[in-house]
Structure 1
Amino acid sequence: MNPDHMPVCKVAAMHVAPVFLDKNATTQKALALIEEAARNGAQLIAFPESFIPAFPVWAGLWAPIHNHDLFARMVAHSLETPGPEIALIAAAARRYQVFISIGISEKNPVSSGGIWNSNLLISDEGRLLSHHRKLMPTFYEKLVWAPGDGAGLQVAATRLGRIGMLICGENTNPLARYALLAQGEQIHIATWPSVWPTKTPGENGNYDNLAANRIRLAAHAFEGKLFGISCAGFMDKAMRDFLVQRDPAVAAILDHTPQAASMFVDPTGAQIGDCLQKEEGIAYCTMDLQQCVEPKQLHDVVGYYNRFDIFDVRVDRSRKKPITWLEDNPPVWPDLGAGDATSGSNS
């Protein structure tokens, strides 16, 4: 990146619904949306949290003893990384020469029922730049996803700038955010579900996705002097009908829980570009990274405006494994000759 000519890029936030709990149909929808955004000039395209195959909102609606079939379906439609669906998305990134951030529910390769809430950043050459698993599922999400690790706390240096991403509640984790800021993050992608109910209608204080997400995105952008992308899912009629047909009592909860918005902020925290909340679509914004420079004069938390002699932050970015084998090579067992029925001794 030439410091005298900072990048200017057009970004797209997909304020869209999945084909609920259908990984194949949702992947095809993602491919069509990528093509549309690329033809409209987008160079960086962001999809919502757990876009493929869906966000498990049912975990906040019913007790877990009533959700076994939904969990099994969620696992069946979660993705392997690498896997065929990711390969299709990577091919689209390469074909249209765009960077893609996409939220998925990811299968654990060594557990038939283990899944993570993950986010992938794919380059314009179709390469995986960052593979982040949500550090800690939030509230009722713990009934669905396992905790991730720090391996994905990475900022990717690209021709568009330094891109980082966090999932939903991680954007309230100051240490996770600082880990990205300390890598020179310039464009931050924050992903969210469409709705996140916490209380029944009539109770005060139901979680306000719209306000909370705007506060967190603006705070991170202001603190880091960077651009922010807030990409939230959308609850379409098919998703609502699926849940209400299962239990009509949840209609009031879904209808009175604030829907999240997809929006953008500049390095001062001010909202810029498009904003979508109550309609499905693609939000666009142009970002000039030169605007990240001047605010650093005033306040630079990863530069001069800190006390590294007082604060010592350490981050473990190793990928956690369920087991470590200590032998140099796996054992090779002898052939028992089971195929030869006449072998052996009768003595």
Structure 2
Amino acid sequence: MAEPSGPRPAVAPRPVTVAAIHAAPVWLEADATADKAVSLIAEAARAGAQAAVFPESFLPGFPAWAGLAPPIRTHEFFRAFAAASVRVDGPQVARIRQAARRHGMLVSLGISESTDVSVGCLWNSNLLIGPDGALLNHHRKLVPTYWEKLVWAPGDGAGLRVSQTALGRVGMLICGENTNPLARYALMAQGEELHFASFPAIWPTRPPGETHAYDIEEAIRVRCAAHAFEAKCFVVVASNVLDEVASRHLETLGAEAEHVLSGTPRAVSLVIGPDGRQIGQSQREEGILTVTVDLGDCVEPKQFHDVVGYYQRPDIFQLQVNRTALQPAIFSQAAPRPSPPDPDWQDVA
């Protein structure tokens, strides 16, 4: 039998250039860090990026002190952190949204979020900002990890969403959430193509040199490669940098804190493809890692193993996700209380 004549149907390429922002915040300075974020968005745009992914709690920094000293010694750090944390509708986020619009950039931004209902309640949050400056998604970390519970409150499922953008379908999770199978599957089940994963600069669990001490670079590679491979999507990892200013502040906690800081592995920023393999180099020094990927490459691996398609058994397994945005209190609107009778008033016949 003769071979079919003519060209085979071609899958149209879907190139996307992403920028992983591997940078240090201006230590607990919200306005200065917002200005730095605006500058980095402009720099990423000049490099040809269409999306800029910032680290976990980039604005105004990551509360590493909670893993370096007992909580009875870190009250002043928490007070400063609470004061520097930002509102989603505040001026710092507004400036970053304006920069996204000015440069036509999709921006994923990690923030420590404060609220007007409490002076001490904070969330570890991530915002997805569209190239028109619109707020596409607002996700609060579902569960603060380990010693982060001393700083942040648990989030809710309201932001456990995949956003349809001009670049593709975008989801995002924060640090340890990238190891949460149900959270990850919730995003996979929404057709995620680009996954933004944000991390801190360091994450100490034991003194350096001890058995089972946590290596954040290794953990990033394992968990993010797993998600890329299972979801058949691209994962963009953006991690914080611990600069000298932050280190000097944290070292005031004592010699042990200084020892842990100097000996704890640092995080990296990188990009992983739908085959679970890293694309290009790792970013270890402060800077911007720019990588161009083809979202069309997400298609072929789905033939082999599509965990939300033919490789799922919804007759056996079902996942229900509560997307209710939780509030501390619900106030019902009631009729006004009747006024008491005027004691001086008398009914005159």
Q: Hey, what does 1:299 align to over in structure 2?
A: 305
User: What is residue 240 of structure 1 aligned with on the other side?
Assistant: 247
1:310 is matched with which residue?
316
Alignment coverage as a number of residue pairs:
334
Could you say which residue in structure 2 is the equivalent of 1:188? 195
Report SS of the residue matched to 1:69.
helix
SS of alignment partner, residue 282 of structure 2: strand
Deviation at 1:4, TM superposition (A): 5.4
Given the superposition, is the C-alpha separation of residues 246 and 330 from structure 1 closer, same or farther in structure 2, using an over 3 Å criterion?
farther
Which amino acid is the alignment partner of residue 289 of structure 2? A
Is 1:160–2:160 an aligned residue pair?
A: no
Match of 2:212 in 1: 205
Paired residue type of 1:271: Q
CA distance in 2, matches of 1:239, 1:70: 12
Q: Of 89, 108, 112, which aligns to 1:105?
A: 112
Cα offset, 1:331, TM superposition: 4.2
Does the 8 Å contact 1:8/1:287 carry over to 2?
yes
Corresponding position: 1:324 with 2:342: no
Query: What are the superposed Cα offsets for residues 275-312 of structure 1, whole Å, 9 maximum, x if unpaired?
Result: 112x1111111110010001111110010111110001
Counterpart of 1:270?
A: 277
Q: Which residue number corresponds to residue 260 of structure 1?
A: 267
2:181 is aligned to 174
Pick the aligned partner of 1:282 from 271, 279, 288.
Answer: 288
In structure 1, how many angstroms separate the alpha carbons of the residues matched to 2:268 and 2:124?
20
Q: Structure 1 stretches (4+) deviating beyond 4 angstroms? A: 329-334
Does the Cα contact within 8 Å between 1:53 and 1:78 map onto a contact in 2? yes
Match of 2:37 among 11, 23, 30: 30
CA displacement at 1:62 relative to structure 2? 0.7
In 2, are the aligned partners of 1:273 and 1:286 still within 8 Å (CA)?
no
Q: Percent identity?
A: 52
1:43-75 Cα distance to aligned partner (Å, 9 max, x none): 000000000111000000011111111111111
* TM-score of the superposed pair, with normalisation by structure 2: 0.92
Match for 2:274: what amino acid? P
2:158 aligned to which of 146, 151, 154: 151
Match of 1:81 in 2: 88
Measure the CA separation in 2 of the matches of 1:77 and 1:332.
Answer: 41
CA RMSD of aligned residues (A): 1.8
Q: 1:59 aligns with which of 66, 75, 91?
A: 66
Q: Please, which runs of 5 or more residues in structure 1 have no aligned partner? A: 335-343
How far 1:181 sits from its partner (Å)? 0.2
Distance across 1 between alignment mates of 2:18 and 2:34: 20
Shift in alpha-carbon separation, 1:326–1:230, aligned structure 2, 3 A: same
Q: Unaligned stretches of 5+ in structure 2? A: 1-9, 345-349
CA distances 1:135-185 after superposition (whole Å, capped 9, x unpaired): 000000000000000001000011100000000000010000000000000
SS in 2 for 1:91: helix
Alpha-carbon distance between aligned partners in 2 of 1:169 and 1:113, rounded to the nearest angstrom: 23
Larger Rg: 2
